[in-house]
Structure 1
Amino acid sequence: MMDSKRDRDQDADVERVTAVLLKSRAGEFDLESILFLKLRGLGIHDLGCIGECVNLERLDLSGNNITNLASLTSLRLLSVLNLSANRISSLEPLRNCESLQNLNVAGNILSSIENLHCLQPLRKLENIRLKDNTYNYTNPVCRNSSYRAIVLEIFPNLRVLDGERVVGRGSDLYQLCKDIDDTIKAGLYKNGQLTEHPNCKPWVEDNYWDIKRSNNAIIDEAYKQFNDVLHECKLLNNRATHVISQTERSMSMKKQPKQYAI
């Protein structure tokens, strides 16, 4: 019991990544045997010896205090990398991660489109996230009105940008859902104020969306991504409920016969 408590206390605030930390988190005796790592929210600011995990394929470093990615240059087999909610201003070291397919850097301090040019040599890169509306994560570069068009021009092989499919099968559906969502958002406000509908009832019961967690690291990561999608669905469900109620009330008023004063 005391050992497990000590491990939790150490993990609560980790400044530098060490071999001991990596082996304990992955359950491996050798750094080269580690294929998957989740080091989320540990207060890390120095990636230390993480570059020795040369066979690493999936890495989650979200919610830390990382500013320098130099230790990741040797991870040539890395395919999925989550760096969201850190303090990163340069992605230059990632140009050597030639197997990278999925990159999440939402919630950092990337200031301009130039910060992204170093990723152009990554031919397998097909999914980039620079902002995440679910957690209100973004980057200064996203304020550029032409940001989306420029990113798609820089990365012609990109299939998904900020969680939305941009090319290939399903892209039309994504655009349709986005248009519907924008329409719903517009209908929620009247004179700049959120319209209240106290009599609205939810479509599903409380805790309907809750799912059980798992101790398996890979399954746990899948649950996390699935929960993100469910959260977005819940938001859309709430907006739709308001708009439907508003529309029904408007239609009922139109059906009422007009009364004329005599």
Structure 2
Amino acid sequence: MDSKRDRDHDADCERVTAALLKSRTGEFDLESILFLKLRGLGIHDLGCIGECSSLERLDLSGNKILSLAPLSSLRLLVALNVSANRISSLEPLSGCDSLQSLNVAGNIISSLENLHCLQSLRKLENIRLKDNTYNYTNPVCRNGLYRNILLEMFPHIKILDGERVVGRGSDLYQLCKDIDDTIKAGLYKNGQLSEHPDCKPWVEDNYWDIKRSNNAIIDEAYKQFNDVLHECRLLNNRATHMISQTERSMSLKKQPKQYAV
């Protein structure tokens, strides 16, 4: 009886069902779900996930998904993580007009032609096809011109494979900031503002300062990141303590034995 229950549970995990979605989110109506994380559940069939019409952020990483077809109806989807799956086609995402961030690292996307379907997504600004941290990649990334061609295909992209290509943090941003700092430095002599009426910075004061957004999603990301840092510090302290104890124990073992005379 228990084995049958286990098989039924496994079957539920392999396919996305209304019961699974409701148990994971606590929402009674699928249309009310805004954020959904179904990471590492062995899912290969997305089932009824397309009925979550209000879904904005979706994490399906670490599963066995072959087809993204059920996602084609998610017009409000902003961020999608399907890393570490078995996906070869992104065609169903061509209708996700609100998509801004897409992580497909660790799949089997074989060529740049497989990415043409995303060119109609004008809001897409963050694409990840490889992730060196987890050693995730795609066959397309072996192309020596992959990065340059991708940037030509998506001229509005801001972040590629976790690296900023335009805006704050990019080479252009840093160059403009350095020039502006040089201009400001030239306006002052011995701490006093000198007369250079024709030489003015082209941006307002504090423009280069990175400010935190009031966006609730970004605030939550900051919180999660700080939680991870805290856990890392705890693990580091624990590891340091264990190493210290081991070294002390080994040091005691190496000391010559003393015998009473």
CA gap of 1:105–1:229, structure 2 versus 1, over 3 A, is farther
In structure 2, what is the Cα distance between the partners aligned to 1:57 and 1:150? 29
CA distance in 1, matches of 2:131, 2:76: 26
Larger Rg: 2
Matched, 1:14 2:16: no
In the alignment, structure 1 segments of 5+ residues that lack a partner are 1-5, 177-217, 235-262
SS in 2 for 1:128: strand
* Equivalence map 1:17-32=2 (5 Å): 17-32=16-31
- Which residue is equivalent to 2:128? 129
- Contact map agreement 2:166 2:172 (CA 8 A) in 1: no
Whole-Å separation in 2 of the counterparts to 1:133 and 1:121: 28
Counting matched residue pairs gives 185
> 2:150 aligns to what SS in structure 1?
helix
SS of corresponding position for 2:14: coil
Residue 153 of structure 1: aligned partner: 152
- State yes or no: 1:100 paired with 2:84: no
C-alpha RMSD over aligned residues: 3.2
Bigger relative CO (Cα 8 Å, ≥ 6 apart): 1
TM-score by length of 2: 0.64
CA contact (8 A) 2:167 2:173 kept: no
Cα-to-partner distance string for 1:157-211 (whole Å, 9 max, x where unaligned): 00000000001121129999xxxxxxxxxxxxxxxxxxxxxxxxxxxxxxxxxxx
Whole-angstrom distance in 1 between the partners of 2:16 and 2:224: 25
Contact 2:98–2:121, Cα closer than 8 Å, also in 1:
yes
After TM superposition, give the deviation of residue 46 of structure 1 in Å.
0.3
Structure 1 runs (4+) greater than 6 angstroms displaced: 173-176, 227-230
Structural mapping, 1:52-67, within 5 Å: 52-67=51-66
Unaligned runs of 5+ in 2: 176-216, 234-261
Name the % identity. Answer: 83
Give the whole-Å Cα distance in 2 for the aligned partners of 1:50 and 1:30: 12
Q: What one-letter code is carried by the residue in structure 2 that aligns with 1:111?
A: S
1:225–1:128 distance in 2 versus 1, CA, 3 Å:
farther
Q: Is the 8 A contact 2:81 2:104 kept in 1?
A: yes
Secondary structure at 1:117 match in 2: helix
Q: How far is the alpha carbon of 1:95 from its aligned partner?
A: 0.1
